[in-house]
Structure 1
């Protein structure tokens, strides 16, 4: 079966069966898009993954209840208020908003999911959202992905969107993903908020397998500040506008489709790190030669989340001892300091656990100067490898978060 993919920049691409609408409801700021509705108009399958934070926000609690009963038809997303740590009132507000959408559309309340992002601990201005719903339904469009990406932003500095078109068996399909995230980034399950949709009909089993693979290679491999939000959510939607047979995991094209969606998720995830609050650097941490996949990930995470490593990255300071220390503090047990090598870019700065003799630090500083560069760890123990993406920790990160509620 022929499979052709095309990475494009046209954000007006439509996913058949999906309509979007966005507006400024004044949830936190005036004249800023902050409310988005994704409407699923055809038969579909969806997979949703939520935060692993033990204190989930009210919309997470309610949406989980709804998913146990119905396939979602409407996804409502608001920015500016997380509706987290708001107790029974937060859950009641979420339910009331979902109920209002059911009245306007004739759907069941359980066919509505809600997602929120913003300040934690403040009550949701539910009346502002409810009063905006009639207008929201009047401005539905199939090509509103860019506006939707803007409407879900908080401290993000740019909308994050990924668009693909591909052909499968002579039929043309679309894949679009949007996400938001800049701070509170270390998803142990998914991402801050991400919504990915395709009009290629995929079985539920196929969606579940794809979502697990895509998450493990994208949103689960990024960090900005080591924080896992109360509101993290990932939604993968497959519409079936022509009522065709669903593509399942035993289809010859499944592996290619899985790769395509994973690639889209990875692009979105890397953009989150690139837009990390105050970030000036995007750094790929690569760990090779680990004794197990688990220990490779432990080491990569320890380096990526080390405040000392992140500040050294910001300063363009090749202080490899901080990286070395993060490896040792990772919790990995099957490691030996006398065989470890550390590289910045292609330059080896640590050999067998000791400083490289006659190292030209100016050369290493030059390798750290670009916005994007790599840090590579060669453990020389086994055959397992992994990678993660992180950013530096700058003065602006502190400024942004100190002023967040101002």
Structure 2
């Protein structure tokens, strides 16, 4: 099945250095609904400030995105540059400025190389007739080692539609948006209020449930554009069609989020941290994040050290209600601790075998309530330090 009413393009503008495509465009042939979520960092890049304001209108037709330069902490000049790039692109597309959103990722604190950026705009627009979403996925990469792309097909009233999305991110990853960009498109016709609600719910269960290093960026942007080109009857909240759309949207965002963690800078492990038996969802998620962000826990994962003591310590300082005499910890199906003490027997050896796997689950049961939450994380390796020590060079 082919996505209808969207075109894509990517070109090389040598924004940071030559040798790869680094300027991309997502374009809807018709005006479309948009829902967007941005970083909660108090320090925000010019593209975030500009696009947040434009997204409030609920209508967008295009997204201009570059890698290699974040256009963050660049003062008034950074905003002028963002506006200028957007204006030139909108003119080339025949759009009002307000229908074009902008996103950037890369090094903070350096002005955009405007001459190179501007020179790439017309070739970018010209490339729309033969580009694809895979081109966008590749162009937005920074320290990513692979492009991230997902697709799902749904039906509404007997009419098929597509949800497709790309993402970038490998480091500076922390919930409440991370150093990541994600752009989703769908040719489904979706009621605007439901689209915003569904996207927010999908983000909370995916991009806001991952952490690589506990850091948060200035540029995080995730958005979805729905243009209705599939021709289905409008998907409205409370209908079976809405339930299916939300389910598929969550599948796409969660799959993209998991790919970000798997591509975590220097990562050798993909770890699901589940917390059960909490008094509330908020406390369950807070506890899971405390474990997932612990440097001692993450280095133990890398060293394949079944050190469950680091995990129960992270539970204890999470700032939630805990009764240490009730806590149970499992590595996959291996019980490491029960009622707050070491399970004994072969637990150490069996737990070490689990940690040798590339993917595993750490489950903590607080035995205090019925709420549970999951967070996805990676280990912390020597390569993480090497990559980030050399990032600007």
Scaled by the length of structure 1, what TM-score is found?
A: 0.94
CA distance in 1 between partners of 2:231 and 2:369 (Å) = 48
**Alpha-carbon offset, residue 106 of structure 1:** 2.5
Question: 2:212 aligned to 224, 228, 231, which one?
Answer: 224
CA distance in 2 between partners of 1:329 and 1:242 (Å) = 50
The answer on whether the counterparts of 2:31 and 2:59 sit within 8 Å (CA) in structure 1 is: no
SS at structure 2 position matched to 1:43:
strand
Counterpart check, 1:405 vs 2:385:
no
**Alpha-carbon offset, residue 251 of structure 1:** 2.4
Counterpart check, 1:210 vs 2:180:
no
2:123 aligns with: 135
2:379 aligns with: 392
Question: 1:260 aligned to 233, 236, 248, which one?
Answer: 248
**Structure 1 pair 68–258 and aligned structure 2 pair: CA distance change class (3 A):** closer
What RMSD, in angstroms, separates the aligned Cα atoms of the two structures?
A: 1.5
The answer on whether the counterparts of 1:191 and 1:234 sit within 8 Å (CA) in structure 2 is: no
SS at structure 2 position matched to 1:42:
strand
1:10 aligns with: none
Question: 2:186 aligned to 198, 211, 218, which one?
Answer: 198
Question: 1:301 aligned to 268, 289, 306, which one?
Answer: 289
2:159 aligns with: 171
CA distance in 1 between partners of 2:363 and 2:24 (Å) = 40
The answer on whether the counterparts of 2:188 and 2:231 sit within 8 Å (CA) in structure 1 is: no
1:368 aligns with: 355
**Alpha-carbon offset, residue 191 of structure 1:** 6.3
**Structure 1 pair 348–69 and aligned structure 2 pair: CA distance change class (3 A):** closer
CA distance in 2 between partners of 1:201 and 1:220 (Å) = 26
**Alpha-carbon offset, residue 243 of structure 1:** 5.9
**Alpha-carbon offset, residue 19 of structure 1:** 0.7
Q: Deviations over 1:185-225 (max 9, x none)?
A: 01314761001111111011111111111011101100000
CA distance in 1 between partners of 2:134 and 2:127 (Å) = 14
CA distance in 2 between partners of 1:174 and 1:252 (Å) = 17
**Alpha-carbon offset, residue 77 of structure 1:** 0.4
Question: 1:33 aligned to 21, 33, 48, which one?
Answer: 21
Q: Deviations over 1:314-354 (max 9, x none)?
A: 0000011100000001011x210011011111111111111
Q: Deviations over 1:20-52 (max 9, x none)?
A: 000111011212011100111123211011100
- Unaligned ranges ≥5, structure 1: 1-12
Which stretch of the first structure deviates more once superposed, 84-93 or 161-170? 161-170
CA distance in 2 between partners of 1:166 and 1:337 (Å) = 46
**Structure 1 pair 94–143 and aligned structure 2 pair: CA distance change class (3 A):** closer
The answer on whether the counterparts of 2:331 and 2:351 sit within 8 Å (CA) in structure 1 is: yes
1:78 aligns with: 66
SS at structure 2 position matched to 1:136:
helix
Counterpart check, 1:353 vs 2:340:
yes
The answer on whether the counterparts of 2:327 and 2:364 sit within 8 Å (CA) in structure 1 is: yes
1:283 aligns with: 271
Question: 2:112 aligned to 117, 121, 124, which one?
Answer: 124
The answer on whether the counterparts of 1:18 and 1:142 sit within 8 Å (CA) in structure 2 is: no
The answer on whether the counterparts of 1:160 and 1:271 sit within 8 Å (CA) in structure 2 is: yes
CA distance in 2 between partners of 1:142 and 1:289 (Å) = 52
The answer on whether the counterparts of 1:70 and 1:110 sit within 8 Å (CA) in structure 2 is: no
SS at structure 2 position matched to 1:49:
strand
- Unaligned ranges ≥5, structure 2: none
1:88 aligns with: 76
1:103 aligns with: 91
**Alpha-carbon offset, residue 301 of structure 1:** 0.4
**Structure 1 pair 70–130 and aligned structure 2 pair: CA distance change class (3 A):** farther
**Structure 1 pair 242–372 and aligned structure 2 pair: CA distance change class (3 A):** closer
CA distance in 1 between partners of 2:305 and 2:345 (Å) = 17
Scaled by the length of structure 2, what TM-score is found?
A: 0.97
The answer on whether the counterparts of 1:178 and 1:195 sit within 8 Å (CA) in structure 2 is: yes
- Equivalent pairs counted in the alignment come to 393
